[in-house]
Structure 1
Amino acid sequence: MDNNPRNWNQTALLVIDMQKDFVVQEGAMRVDGGLAIVPNVIEAVEVARRRGILVIWVVREHDPMGRDVELFRRHLYSEGKAKPTSKGSVGSELVDGLVIKDTDYKLVKTRFSAFFCTHLHSLLQGAGISSLVVTGVQTPNCIRQTVFDAVALDYPSVSVIVDATAAATSEVHAANISDMKNVGVATPTLQEWSKSDD
């Protein structure tokens, strides 16, 4: 898929799950590779804003009682448990250095894919978006499922910035990047994407 869309106003940058519970050392659902990519995600957002690209912050915000959580995670929301990314909790906040601006858009999801049971597709269609650039955590779950849904929905250009996405291990990250590349997804580094100017 083309990694160099001609009109940046037809491109959206998805920043997925860059929240304290997933990224910081003491996070309840920490992805080990998450903290290392924070500077690159910050830079990707800055590049996107300079280009006039729509920045969409995709975050998990769960009911504190866990009623909207996947079955396999509901035990984490019982009495006395951490209740990861509960709405209004510190853990649901973006990591330091990432800030939602008025021109950005915040989308709440409760499953891996940003498209599943959300209005993301209609939002993108309404904004005239045909190209998606994906950053965040974690590669085998939320990144991969969002990307595969974007491919299934026939977005002409889907890119994953390889050093602005992360998984628990570099091996898991690389394997999933390879799978996405095999279905036509572009996998530039941040430097490569930042220098593209079409």
Structure 2
Amino acid sequence: MTSKVVSDFLSMYNRTEEELLTPEQLESKGVFSGEKEFIEFAERDYNTDKHWTFEIKKEECALLVIDMQEDFVNPSHPMAVPEAYRMVPRMKKMIEACREQGVPVIFTAHNIAEDCNHGFYEFWEPIKNGAIKEGTPGADIYSGIYPLPGERVIRTKHAYCSFSGTDLDYVLRNLGVKTLIISGTLTNFCCESTARTGYFLNYNIVFGEDINATDSALAHEATLRTMRRGFGRVMPGERIASALKDGDALYQEAVQARAELKNNADDARLLRQA
């Protein structure tokens, strides 16, 4: 019987079951045998939280609050994202948790001008009409979570990625940061782009599943799946705050569970060889 995961795969790629590779053609011993099992393995992996990959240590962290600006958050503004507006209370809790634990909070603000629009005018009509225009009130950080005096705001951001053309990497390295907590909007554009580049620059990535927001639930989930499978740890804001305050229990539990799984596998292997 074909599982829903395999059926959905076949539908998406317009293929028949007969076209799938057989166990003789595709196999990874102990992991999958044949393309059906491969598809199901991949699906499980996209939904597996890999909390064992690194430990969250507050002295190594920084919170990035990405593009939570008036034009993106305020419902009366032209590019407002309703879910970004709704998550402001959770975002405020995350920001306050970091401040209380001495974790740097760094804000970014996407600014566009005539001489640095890089095609944004063609993709985004509201930007062409003046949204997030450099130097305007709409491009400033949303009033409900405005930075404290002395908190860093990256305002030279002209692209989706917060590292592109900015001094963010210098700021982070100067602070001794090794782990980035990603929050903001849009999940699948600026937040995902920043997380990817941060990972490529050898930062650990913690991606907040409920402190990032976008205009499509499907796009939000797609980013979480990608982050979870190969870029970082996906966690709700409350669990991130708990790890900063009380230690990373999820990491400890995951490491212990993996060690037990390996021991059980080794025992089973020895029994087979006996």
Partner of 1:15: 65
Instruction: Give, in whole Å, the separation in 2 of the partners of 1:29 and 1:3.
Output: 36
Unpaired runs of at least 5, structure 1: none
Q: 2:139 aligns with which of 78, 92, 97?
A: 92
Q: Secondary structure at the match of 2:165?
A: coil
Return the offset for 1:52: 0.4
Partner of 1:57: 107
Partner of 1:116: 164
Instruction: Give, in whole Å, the separation in 1 of the partners of 2:89 and 2:64.
Output: 16
The letter for the 1-side match of 2:239 is: E
The letter for the 2-side match of 1:193 is: I
Q: Secondary structure at the match of 1:163?
A: strand
The letter for the 1-side match of 2:61 is: T
Q: What pairs up with 1:41-52 in 2 under 5 angstroms?
A: 41-52=91-102
Partner of 2:129: 82
Instruction: Give, in whole Å, the separation in 1 of the partners of 2:180 and 2:202.
Output: 11
1:33 aligns with 2:83: yes
The letter for the 2-side match of 1:18 is: M
Q: Does the CA contact (< 8 Å) of 2:68 and 2:184 recur in 1?
A: yes
Q: Does the CA contact (< 8 Å) of 1:3 and 1:158 recur in 2?
A: no
Q: Does the CA contact (< 8 Å) of 2:108 and 2:162 recur in 1?
A: yes
1:159 aligns with 2:206: yes
Return the offset for 1:170: 1.8
Q: CA RMSD in A?
A: 1.9
The letter for the 2-side match of 1:158 is: I
Deviation string 1:18-73 (CA, Å, 9 cap, x unpaired) is 0111112232222232111111111111001001011100111233xx22112142
Partner of 2:149: 102
1:2 aligns with 2:54: yes
Instruction: Give, in whole Å, the separation in 2 of the partners of 1:73 and 1:177.
Output: 28
Partner of 2:215: 168
RCO greater where, 1 or 2, for CA within 8 Å and sep 6 or more? 1
1 or 2, which has the higher helix percentage? 2
Q: Does the CA contact (< 8 Å) of 1:12 and 1:55 recur in 2?
A: yes
Instruction: Give, in whole Å, the separation in 1 of the partners of 2:84 and 2:215.
Output: 8
Give the structure-2-normalised TM-score.
0.65
The letter for the 1-side match of 2:230 is: V
Instruction: Give, in whole Å, the separation in 2 of the partners of 1:184 and 1:115.
Output: 16
Q: Secondary structure at the match of 2:82?
A: coil
Deviation string 1:167-197 (CA, Å, 9 cap, x unpaired) is 1022211111111111131111111111112
Deviation string 1:71-129 (CA, Å, 9 cap, x unpaired) is 14268589xx6311123322112223212112311112110000111111121111111
Give the structure-1-normalised TM-score.
0.89
Q: Does the CA contact (< 8 Å) of 2:56 and 2:179 recur in 1?
A: no
Unpaired runs of at least 5, structure 2: 1-52, 248-274
The letter for the 2-side match of 1:90 is: P
Instruction: Give, in whole Å, the separation in 1 of the partners of 2:140 and 2:212.
Output: 18
Aligned sequence identity (%): 23
